[in-house]
């Protein structure tokens, strides 16, 4: 499993590589960060984070068993890492 920092960098780089093909200006850098943040917000909104929103056999605590972290906490950490880029 990727760390929150690795996930943040990967999301940012995906936008940077698709949107721009050369060195980023400060404004372009901020646009890529905002796109990555929007992506994480949409992931959080789309993820069933409440036990009543998921089947009994698929609970949020099962999503990241190796790290003993919930999906929501993981994506919140990714958001923080993106903001710190």
Taking a C-beta distance cutoff of 8 angstroms, is the pair 44, 53 a contact?
no
Q: Is the pLDDT of residue 61 over 60?
A: no
pLDDT for res 45: 85
Map out the domains of the chain as residue ranges.
Answer: 4-84
Q: Is the pLDDT of residue 52 over 80?
A: no
Higher pLDDT, 46 or 21: 46
Burial of 40 (0-12, 13-18, 19+ CB in 10 A): buried
Q: Is the pTM of this model over 0.85?
A: no
């Amino acid at each position: 499993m990727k760390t929150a920092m690795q996930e943040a960098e990967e999301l940012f780089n995906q936008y940077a590589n698709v949107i721009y093909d050369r060195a980023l200006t400060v404004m372009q850098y901020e646009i890529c960060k905002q796109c990555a943040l929007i992506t994480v917000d949409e992931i959080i909104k789309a993820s069933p984070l409440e036990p009543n929103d998921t089947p009994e056999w698929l609970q949020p605590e099962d999503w990241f068993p190796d790290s003993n972290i919930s999906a929501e906490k993981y994506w919140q950490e990714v958001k923080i890492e993106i903001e710190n880029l």
